[in-house]
Amino acid sequence: MRPFNSNRAVAILLAGMASLALAGVRNARADQPSSTLFIKVTDASTGKPIYQAQLTLQFRMKEGKAIFRHAKWFSYTGKTDVKGICKFEDVGQGPIVLMVTATNHQSYGKKLKFDKSNQLIAVKLRKPHALL
């Protein structure tokens, strides 16, 4: 018989607690659907696509019910392609915050609702106002 080792006992206890915690946490995507979101950015006056516009997308995903009870914020960034389109994958459906900036255009920021699979959101950016 081995002598009692308190360090080993603590390590075993912590490993057991960690495995119970992991077993109790459910995947965030199991409770909330996610999908692909397409953003198309065009110039408001010409209708031409804006290349290399900067996009920031923020959304919340619900955590598992066993341990965490808060929605966690996620933030994705991207740029538009030559066609003015940016694709965000695995986005949690629900309210989102979208911010768009582009050279020689006014910034855009808005809270939107993302509730359809493969949804397309069109953003039209205006030229900046002339300085007085």
35-73: pLDDT as tens digits: 899 999 999 999 999 999 999 999 887 665 545 556 778
Domain boundaries along the sequence of the chain? 28-125
Query: pTM (2 decimals)?
Result: 0.69
Lowest mean pLDDT of 11-15, 81-85, 107-111, name the range. Answer: 11-15
Quote the CA–CA distance of 29 and 38 in Å, as a whole number: 19
To the nearest whole percent, how much of the chain has pLDDT over 90? 51
Cα 51 to Cα 12, 45, 57, 76, 126, distances in angstroms = 55, 15, 18, 18, 14
**Which of left, alpha, beta for 82 (phi over 0: left; psi -120 to 50: alpha)?**
alpha
Q: Residues 88-102: pLDDT tens digits?
A: 998 888 899 999 999
Q: Band of the pLDDT at 105, cuts 50, 70, 90?
A: very high
List the CATH code of the domain at 28-125: 2.60.40.10
* CA-only gyration radius of the chain, Å: 23
Give phi and psi for 20, each to the nearest 5: -65, -40
Mean pLDDT of the chain: 79
